[in-house]
Structure 1
Amino acid sequence: MTSVAVIGGGISGLVAAYRLRQRLGPDAVITMVEASGRVGGKLRTTQLAGDGVDVGAEAFIARRPEVPALLAELGLSDQMVAPAGVRPLIWSGDTLHPLPGGTLMGIPAGPESMAGLVDQQTLARIAAEPGVPLDWLPGSDIDVATLVGSRFGEQVVRRSVDPLLGGVYSGLSDSIGVRAALPTLAAALDRGAANLSAAVAQALPEPSPGPVFGGLRDGYGVLLDALTERAAATVLRADASGLSRSLDGTGWWIDPVGRVDGVVLAVPAPSLAALLSEVSPAASAAAAQIPLASSVVVALALAEGTPLPQNSGILVATGEAVRAKAFTLSSRKWPHLAERGGALVRASFGRFGDADIVDAPDTELVAAARADLETVTGLRVDPVDAVVQRWHGGLPQYGPGHLDRVQVIEESIGALPGLAVAGALLHGVGVPACVAAATTAATTVAEQMAR
């Protein structure tokens, strides 16, 4: 009887277990090992004021095919919803600004988009940037802050780029590399773009119809439940350890499961490094070099009639006095949430290296969310309910050289039959990227076991 262990019960592990069940059939023994008290990882739908609300990821890139296709397979296509189409704001210099348009993750192709957000000296620097020689070595990688700051100045970095990158990685542009986070920009630079303005213009995506993002009407919990049911895996609430080749040399041994024919590792980078320390020291060392950022989501249910701005959210520039890094005005952003009545806001705290705010007591976090929301909106905020969700080590930081580390991991694991890696540490932190990586890992293991 075929047996497989999936280590990690987040979205990557659940998708991998589901895909393995599809490939191996109903008689295969699939065991999922999850150290926490629940499956779903950084996706979670919980109750707030009597309704379900996502307190992890709340959206996915709808223009990628993975999530819509997965929902269709599971009979959940009717769960897909689109945002209202309203734009976010940026809080900078104690005032609100429209989010600049026509940028690549906040990096402008010219001064026009930055007008009002940065000072005149910075605007003049952006305008003059095409005349400044660019020294870029094809194939090289540096952090986004160094590249953008050296060409456009610090204000563009802290007021435009940091807020957007922080929303994706819970980090600053100082901790994020150009090549992994902005591959189209790196490609334009490699092709010989004469300056950063030209490279951004070349890297901007072509306009396409339809919403950029999608969500689930009843929250990600419905997807997690469907995957859990269809995977039909035995879930062990334990830490995994002791990964090694089985004594007969045809499979793997891992505690607490024992001998299995194949293993999918869908765990954060530090856990991956520990598990691979004996079977692949090179991959273990590469995984150990991927740091993690922690964050907190504070979901607030406000009284009906609270006049929130007609915007999807408010991003906070680096260096502002407020402690929150962003607010999602959920009942403005999502029509299906607005239909419930009341007002719903998610406050996000914590960037890479911010340990104090992540470990603050719930009462302090709720008070900070309320005070910061009042500061940036000018409204009196009276929550009727609140939920605090901490995400310790929630997001890997794609620093300079990240793709090289991933290549070492994948090539080293590729030489070990019946073993594969999935997760947000590989080729994207969003749900679609995790679904894609998990599908690849499960397919690889199933095919190798069939040989």
Structure 2
Amino acid sequence: MRRPWRVAVVGGGITGLAAAVRLRDNAPAGTEITVYEQSGALGGKLRTGELAGRPVEFGAESFLMRDPAGGESAAVGLIRRLGLADAIVHPTVGQAALAVAGELRPIPGGTLVGVPGDLEKVAAVATPAADADRDAGRPLLGADDDVSVGALVRSRVGDQVVDRLVDPMLGGVYAGRADDLSLATTMPALARAARVEHTLVGAVRAAQAAAPRPPGAPVFGTLAGGLSRLVEAAAQASGATIRRDAAVRELKPTADGWQLTVGPTRDPERVEVDAVVLAVPARPAARLLTDCAPAVAATIGGLDYASVALVTLALPEPALPRLSGFLVPATEGLLIKASTFFTTKWGHLARPDGLALVRASVGRYGEETSLQLADADLVAAVHRELSGVVGAPLPAPVADHVQRWGGALPQYAPGHLDRLAAARAALRATHPTLVLAGAGYDGVGIPVCVRSGETAAGEIIEALGGSGQ
């Protein structure tokens, strides 16, 4: 009689949990799934807390409603699978601004992550180069080229568009710089269009046309009650054994699968499994792969990460502009790189007493010294800068919270996708029952992480033959 499969999911973030749910849904009945999470909490960068009596996100705030092809995003699909679709809420205020030259200017429409599809629309924020975006009679990129976002956009429309618009937009997502981030990884639709189109504006419009959004359709969503509801529901639906405070310290291939060494050095636990989904950041994954796949470990171990701090303030009746928040170009010289006016943006969080929740993000790649401030000093600096940006002294916070995320956001250098494809191909050729998943490989954002975990689960099922062994 064939015994049930035993699958280990290393990492209890949303990627690992999505993998566990997909395994439960599609693997043979009786499959034993165990999720190993080294910390005491599931969810990774999804963490709902409370401040001044209201739920507030101390990590990821929302998810995209649609995928790059225009269909329902993987996050929405998982939420539906978990029975939480009725809890999806959308922003009530969508307009955000840029803090430029001492004032807040609305982010112009018609851009793709800040890259303009209409040069006239960005003129209020940035002035394109005088000879901007001329057709040279050939595609912007070769068939296999990858460049940094900044390199492409600077060459077509000049520095100011990058510095004032593209860089802060990318910085808000990746905490990185446009001049360092891979176009093919961070903006794949634009990269595809740039291999056909002769102008940047034409490539932006082509990318937008390839994934049309119905008029009035919301771009973002979150869950009433907080995104930790998604984490809890996924853990429950997976039917997995959840092991918190269970660090996996070693992976060894065996004749039939894998041996995991779990727990402290002084009292290790050895676990035998048939397959492993490795859903942890690139550097810890590399450490686990050093002995069994050293070339793969060297490749993924080279991925760098940015650290950030999220500072949330509860402010009594502040005079805030009617905006969802704002982004700050690095050229402005502020500690803050982005801010969200939570109780303005999300109507379901509004309070009758006028208490407002405002969150600011601090920390850009290469500028980690800004994160060395003590919590109280970080709160004071954020409060001071927020007052300066909105143009009026803000009231003292009645409560505050500082959430530090060390090594939180991957920095994808040009060529990332090719390096990753080669690493995965090498791993598949030698160890098909060990699969990488997560933001370090496939991109940031809840939908991308969910899709990465689900894809990894599918690969495990295929590698194990589609039925119990």
Report the TM-score range of the alignment, normalised by the length of the smaller protein.
over 0.9
* Separation in 1, partners of 2:448, 2:213: 21
Residue 286 of structure 1 contacts residue 408 of structure 1 at CA under 8 Å; is this kept in 2?
Answer: no
In the alignment, which of 181, 186, 189 is matched to residue 176 of structure 1? 181
- 1:163 aligned residue: 168
- 2:222 aligned residue: 215
Residue 31 of structure 1 contacts residue 236 of structure 1 at CA under 8 Å; is this kept in 2?
Answer: no
| Residues 89-137 of structure 1: CA deviation (Å, up to 9, x unaligned) | 0001122111011112111134312212224xx45343xx315677633
AA partner of residue 62 (structure 1):
M
**What is the deviation of 1:409?**
2.7
**What is the deviation of 1:29?**
3.2
**What is the deviation of 1:432?**
0.7
- 1:252 aligned residue: 258
AA partner of residue 214 (structure 1):
G
**What is the deviation of 1:27?**
4.3
In the alignment, which of 380, 399, 402 is matched to residue 385 of structure 1? 399
Does 2:306 align with 1:293?
Answer: yes
- 1:199 aligned residue: 203
Residue 130 of structure 1 contacts residue 197 of structure 1 at CA under 8 Å; is this kept in 2?
Answer: no
In the alignment, which of 427, 434, 450 is matched to residue 442 of structure 2? 427
Between stretches 278-287 and 422-431, larger displacement belongs to 278-287
- 1:5 aligned residue: 8
Structure 2 stretches lacking a partner, 5+ long: 263-269
Relative distance call for 1:406 and 1:103 in structure 2 (3 A) is same
The alignment's C-alpha RMSD in Å is 1.9
State the SS of the aligned residue for 1:237. coil
Relative distance call for 1:138 and 1:448 in structure 2 (3 A) is closer
AA partner of residue 64 (structure 2):
I
* Separation in 2, partners of 1:359, 1:2: 46
1:88-99 aligned at under 5 Å gives the runs 88-99=96-107
**What is the deviation of 1:36?**
2.1
| Residues 143-178 of structure 1: CA deviation (Å, up to 9, x unaligned) | 111111122221111100011101111111022111
* Separation in 2, partners of 1:67, 1:339: 28
Does 2:251 align with 1:243?
Answer: yes
* Separation in 1, partners of 2:115, 2:462: 42
In the alignment, which of 447, 452, 458 is matched to residue 437 of structure 1? 452
Residue 65 of structure 2 contacts residue 75 of structure 2 at CA under 8 Å; is this kept in 1?
Answer: yes
* Separation in 2, partners of 1:133, 1:400: 25
**What is the deviation of 1:238?**
3.2
- 2:266 aligned residue: none
Residue 149 of structure 2 contacts residue 181 of structure 2 at CA under 8 Å; is this kept in 1?
Answer: yes
**What is the deviation of 1:17?**
2.1
AA partner of residue 146 (structure 2):
D
Residue 347 of structure 1 contacts residue 369 of structure 1 at CA under 8 Å; is this kept in 2?
Answer: yes
AA partner of residue 326 (structure 2):
I
Percent identity over the alignment?
41
* Separation in 1, partners of 2:340, 2:96: 9
- 2:328 aligned residue: 316
Residue 114 of structure 1 contacts residue 123 of structure 1 at CA under 8 Å; is this kept in 2?
Answer: no
| Residues 348-400 of structure 1: CA deviation (Å, up to 9, x unaligned) | 01111221122321111111110111010013222111111111111111220
AA partner of residue 190 (structure 1):
R
* Separation in 2, partners of 1:136, 1:412: 28
Structure 1 stretches lacking a partner, 5+ long: none
TM-score (norm: length of structure 2): 0.90
1:95-110 aligned at under 5 Å gives the runs 95-110=103-118
Does 2:425 align with 1:411?
Answer: yes
| Residues 241-299 of structure 1: CA deviation (Å, up to 9, x unaligned) | 221211xx111012115211111100001111111122222321221222111111111
TM-score (norm: length of structure 1): 0.93
- 2:154 aligned residue: 149
- 1:261 aligned residue: 274
AA partner of residue 241 (structure 1):
R
AA partner of residue 30 (structure 1):
I
Residue 115 of structure 1 contacts residue 123 of structure 1 at CA under 8 Å; is this kept in 2?
Answer: no
| Residues 2-34 of structure 1: CA deviation (Å, up to 9, x unaligned) | 322111111111222222233446744332222
